[in-house]
Amino acid sequence: MDFNVKKLASGAGQFFTRAVQYTEEKLGQAERTELDAHFENLMSRADCTKNWTEKIYRQTEVLLQPNPSARIEEFLVTNAELLGHYMEDAAREFGAGSPYGSTLIKVGECERHLGASEREFLQTASISFLNPLRNFLEGDWRTISKERRLLENLRLDLDVCKARLKKAKVAEAKAAAPDFQETRPRNYVLSASASAAEQELRVAQTEFDRQAEVTRLLLEGISSTHVNHLRCLNEFVEAQAVYYKQCHLHMQELQKELGRMPNAFAINSIHSAGPGGSAADGELSPVETDTLKIEEVQAPATGTRKAKVLYDYDAADSSELSLLADELITVYTVPGMDSDWLIGERGNHKGKVPVTYLELLS
């Protein structure tokens, strides 16, 4: 018990002397041991790394999972997958053979594929990017912070010892008076006090130098952290590229399938006209029948426009024109043609093209 009390009293006294030293430094009443410029630069670089790593980590979490109550590691079903299942269930209720039902099935299947790609991306990004950043913040940085706090405490102890030695030497100098009857025993006591202060200073300096070296090695390890985070960043970019490429391919395929499906509005207009006729005159227009000859279609004198192709498109038959993303073509419509299609021309080639694959230019 006595040992614990003495240890507690010693710790309290040490804390008090450090607090006094720190306060006097802030008030400009005590000298402070300064670290060299290289060491200061290492600490500044480490602080900068910690601050920006924390911000990048938090924002990446928001990007991958906007809902703060959900954990990415427990992300089993994505919202897109749920939407796909709902669409497919609705199609079965409405009738899979109806235009709306069959379209819901196609879109629902695509949404499920998009959701599966998203789930895979979330898992890959979490493992390859988020986890290394978190490991640095919760592991390496905590160790660095602990050693830096210890170094600061030892620095305060060192400066306390320096101040004690300085006071002892000042007192010793004042005691050097011409009165030989009293100075000899007093000088002997003061010299002993100065010697003890010098011994404390040597011990404090040794402990400080040892801790400074440990801390310096940890701070220099930030360079390795940057190299590791760079590798993780490249893996994150690769995961994003794969994810968005998969999404693009899924949407392209969906658009192609929807482009080949019959248009519900066109079907309804034909049915309302009665068998064998159109809504206007009882006859199907040439474009609505299989007798359309693309080679016989002529561009109108006015009304043609330029269009930029947004996605690759493979023609389903000889009446359609295959497209390449980013190319420019000339487009126009003909009387009675389905509004979802245009006639496209590229050089000597022409054919039907889906409007959804185009950006009409002025």
pLDDT tens track, the chain, 362 positions: 554 545 544 555 676 677 766 676 666 666 778 889 999 999 999 999 999 999 999 999 999 887 766 665 556 788 999 999 999 999 999 888 888 999 999 999 999 999 999 999 999 999 999 999 999 999 999 999 999 999 999 988 898 888 888 887 777 777 665 555 554 455 555 566 778 888 888 999 999 999 999 999 999 999 999 999 999 999 999 999 999 999 999 999 999 888 887 654 444 443 444 444 444 443 434 344 344 577 777 778 777 899 999 888 888 888 899 999 889 999 988 877 777 889 999 988 889 999 988 988 86
Please tell me whether residue 345 adopts helix, strand or coil conformation.
strand
Residue type, 318: S
CA distances in angstroms from 181 to 176, 177, 185, listed in the order given: 12, 10, 9
Residue 34: what pLDDT? Answer: 86
Spatial contact of 191 and 171, defined as CB atoms under 8 Å apart: no
Task: Report the 10 Å Cβ neighbour count for 307.
Answer: 22
CB 285 within 8 A of CB 335: yes
Q: What are phi and psi of 299, to 5 degrees?
A: -65, 140
Type of residue numbered 202: R
Report the C-alpha gap between 271 and 262 in whole angstroms.
13
Q: Could you tell me the pTM of the whole model?
A: 0.64
Contact assessment for residue 43 and residue 130, using Cβ atoms and an 8 Å cutoff: no
Would you state the pLDDT for residue 259? 83
Q: Which residues pair with 345 in a beta bridge?
A: 330, 350
Residue carrying the six token digits 């008090």: 16
CB 95 within 8 A of CB 101: yes
How confident is the model at residue 288, as a pLDDT? 42
pLDDT, position 230: 97
282: left (phi over 0), alpha (psi -120 to 50) or beta: left
> Cα separations (Å) of 194 from 165, 201, 206?
6, 10, 18
